[in-house]
Every structure is written in structure tokens, then in C-alpha cells.
Amino acid sequence: MSERPNILFIMSDQMVAALTGAYGHPVVHTPHLNRLAEEGVRFDAAYTPFPLCSPGRACIMTGRHASAIGAWDNGSLLAADQPTFADYLSRADYDTALSGKMHFVGPEQQHGFRMRLTTDIYSSDFSWVKDEWIAIKETGGERCEEVMGQRRNYNAAAYDDQCVKIDQWHNCLAYDEETHYRAVEYLRAQGRRRDRPFLLCASYHHPHEPFWPPQADWDRYEGAQIDLPEFPANLDDTYSQMDKNLNAYHGTRRHNLRSEEGLYRLRRAYYALVTYMDRKVGELMQTLEQSGLLDNTVVVFCSDHGDMLCEREMVQKRGFYEWSCRVPLIARFPDGWKAGTVCDTPVNLIDLVPTFCELAGADDLLPHDGHSLLPIIDGADADRAIFAQAHEAVGMPCVMARQASYKYTYIHGYGGQLFDLQNDPGEWNNLCGMAEHTSVEERLRGLVLAHFDPEKMAADNLASLYRRRLIAQVMADQGRTWCHHPQYDFRKGASDQYFA
């Protein structure tokens, strides 16, 4: 590998690591991710810093924890004074380009990238700020069910059997096709130029809902053995207060999420969309090879978060269970360094900022919260702890800490959760309060409180919501928007247009 390799950063949206062939799934067809893992490093304990699109991506871009940059929810501003890995690499004379989704909120829509090759798929102003977020926060999460009982909710509807559609063209497929076309064309152009190294971020929407796969991908799973969730009789007793609030917010009890036929169709459609995404990875790799770039390009693949897919009768993301918070992360190095390696050390996607900078020789970073993955791959910092945050829809600050095989969830004002993932990979046995696990619980709780101030987080979050609601109202009255998406009608709610 040369001292300054190109970097191709491929990001999917809402992909569950365990539902890929690269992570050992026997049914889901991902030959290109499999190849990437065989030729690179697979991280088996990689986590998003925030299991939600916009704040998760803001943390990934900046290498900062969510509370450090005010990334509270999907309507939070990513301030222009927060340097990103695109800023650092641009300053290091890399050509930096973004094709696809990044869900930046605010008038700055490039955040260090020299150019954006597409618009964004979602709005970029404060129209996403919701009154229920404020109502839930004002009571510290105590009245989430009451608040959401008075409001229409769309989140669980996408997981209903009737929302799975096959071979129906829609805006999200169109968006990913354009994202992919622009990324491929950029790589071809770089193959001709080669005047300086590049960073290309190719960021796709799928396998995020709507679960409307192309016919060929759906047909691949005809008659396939598709595992369905199991619902123990005491399921409600296993829910934390965080879980209860998320279920109320998502409206899970307003839809039948236990229909075996519906769950089969849902999972089949999801498998198909994972395969669709895998094909895009393969075509990008093929373009690198055909353009003569593969031998000097680091390829990194990840997802911003996962998807509960009705496990525990829960949907979407926003939570810390493995299906939601653990993500695929694979890195291939052009000289075959550590090819076929599996890294079990817990890592966080905020680690990508210092990693990209180390690869690019950009060593003058401003304060950040991540650590380069390169020494971790080599075995350093094996006992490190990583963190994730969740704030939208739950009402109270929630922080996850993962160290070794233990995962601890701090829920401000309520009882926490502690799981030993080695002995309980399904996260069913909460060890909090058990005498034999007191030392682990106290250690991880202490790490959370040493790094974060929950009272300040709650106050800062609510103050931000008040400010953003006011500005959203003024912008709506004036007919203004920051959107990097000209077709978007900011006067309609995002969910009203989502399936348009």
C-alpha cells in the first residue's frame, strides 16, 4: 500500500450485520461482501455511535459523540464549525466527493466534500422537528405512551405485510440507482486522472424501508428458509423503560407484527434488498479493478445502523440491541494487509475519522472521540470501551457501553440493562442487580457517567428542540428551506411524501 491510498467509503442504511453472508448467515446472498471480508478485515463488534440516520452520520463524519455536537435526533443541526473527515482529507490534498445520502441538517450541505454528486434523499431543514419529541422530553420520558396515543405514527406501518411490494419502481430505488451511477462515473474519471488521491463516499438508502425489492432479488429467495422472530410469553416483562417508550413511539401495538406470513414476506424482502446492496458493492469493486485503481484503494464498507425487523416485537432502530446498534464494518487494504482477519475488539464508527486521517497522513486533527482502527486491528487497546447514545423518542438520555463481552445500557432515571453477549447473544437475561455481576455493572455505569453528564444532556436537548421549533415555524411562514433536494415540498411532513 502506498503512503497515500485512495479511499472508497461505501455506506448502506439500516443493514443488520448478522443478516449478511459475510457475517456467516447461511441464506442471505452477499458474495461481494463475502469477498471483501475474505480480502480484508471484518469487525465483529462494530457499533454505530447513534442508532438513527442523521445523528449517527453526523457522529461518523465528525468523529464526535452525539452530545458533543448536539446530534439529538433526525432534525438536529450539524453545525458548519464541526470539522469532518472530508475537511481533514481535503486539507491533505485529497479530492473528496459524496454520492448519495448523508442526511445533513442545516444550510451547510457539503461539510468538507469538494462536491456532491447527487442531491440528498431527505430534507435538510428543521421541518423534521416534531412536537411529540418536545412533549416526551418535557416529562423525561414518563408520558411517552400518553403522548403518542394522541398522534398518528408511521414507523411500524412499514413492517406490516401489506407494505411489502415487489418489483414496483419507487423514489428510493431511483435514488440509489442515481447514487450508484454517479459513484461509478466518478471512479472511472479518477482512473483516467490519477493526479492526486481521492476519497469517495458512496452512500445508499437500502436496505432501509420501504421494503420494495426488485423482482430478481425477491425471486432469489423463493422457498428459502427464512428465520422468524420468537416471542416468549414473558416478552413484556423483558422490556426496559427505553424499550417501552420506543414501542409507543413506533406504534408497534397498532399493527400485527406477529403474523408468520407477514414476517416471512418482510424478512424475504429485506434479504432481497441486502442482496441488491451487495450487488452495488460488487459493481463498485469491479469499477475499481477495471479502472486500475484497486491496487491503491482502501475500501471500507459499513452501515449507519441496523433494524430490529420485529425482533422482540420491535421495529426500526433507535435502540441498543444488536439488531439495531451493531453494524457491519469491513475494511480491505490494497496490499492484502491482514486479509481474512476477524477483529473482536469493540469499535465504533466514530473511529473512522482518525482511521481515514492516518491512512491519508493527516495527523493534525482537532479534538475528537475516536481512535484509529489500524493499531486496533494489530491487537492494541483490546479492553477498550465504546459508547452509543440515543435521545430521539425515548425521553431520557440513554447511553450504551460495550467492553469485552459485556454490554451495559444506562437509562437515566430508570433501571439499566447488562448483557453478557458471549453467553447470551440474544440479550434476554438482564444481569443488572445480580450480585455476581455487580462489579461489571458498577464499572460500566461508572464509565458512562465519567464520559457523559445525563442532566446536562437532557437540558441541552430540550433547549435545542425549543430553538429549532421556533426557527422551523419562521422558515415555513417565509417559504424558505435549506433542502438539497429541490423536489421536496417542505410544507408536507416527510412521512406524507415518503411513499410518493
DSSP string, 186-236: HHHHHHHH-SS-EEEEEEEEEESSS----HHHHHTTTT---------TTHH
How many CA atoms lie less than 13 Å away from 498 in the CB half-sphere? 16
How distant, in Å, are the alpha carbons of 83, 84, 354 from that of 367? Answer: 10, 11, 11
Distance, in Å, from the CA atom of 45 to the CA atom of 322, rounded to the nearest integer, reads 10
Among residues 29, 32, 65, 103, the one annotated as catalytic is 103
Please name which of 345, 333, 351 lies closest in space to residue 378, comparing C-alpha atoms.
Answer: 345
103 annotated active-site: yes
Distance, in Å, from the CA atom of 498 to the CA atom of 500, rounded to the nearest integer, reads 6
53 annotated active-site: yes
Distance, in Å, from the CA atom of 62 to the CA atom of 286, rounded to the nearest integer, reads 30
Distance, in Å, from the CA atom of 159 to the CA atom of 277, rounded to the nearest integer, reads 20
- Contact in structure between 141 and 395 (CB atoms under 8 Å): yes
A 10 A CB-CB count for 264 gives 17
Q: Does the CA dihedral 11-75-122-322 come out positive or negative? A: positive
Distance, in Å, from the CA atom of 314 to the CA atom of 324, rounded to the nearest integer, reads 10
In eight-state DSSP terms, residue 384 is -
Cell of 349: 464508527
Q: Buried b / exposed e across 242-259, counting CB within 10 Å, b at 16+?
A: bbbbbbbbbbbeebebee
Among residues 29, 53, 205, 483, the one annotated as catalytic is 53
Helix (H) or strand (E) holding 386: strand 385-390
Distance, in Å, from the CA atom of 10 to the CA atom of 303, rounded to the nearest integer, reads 8
Distance, in Å, from the CA atom of 18 to the CA atom of 23, rounded to the nearest integer, reads 6
- Contact in structure between 274 and 25 (CB atoms under 8 Å): no
Cell of 472: 422551523
How distant, in Å, are the alpha carbons of 33, 51, 102, 336 from that of 278? Answer: 6, 21, 19, 21
Just list the catalytic residues. 53, 103
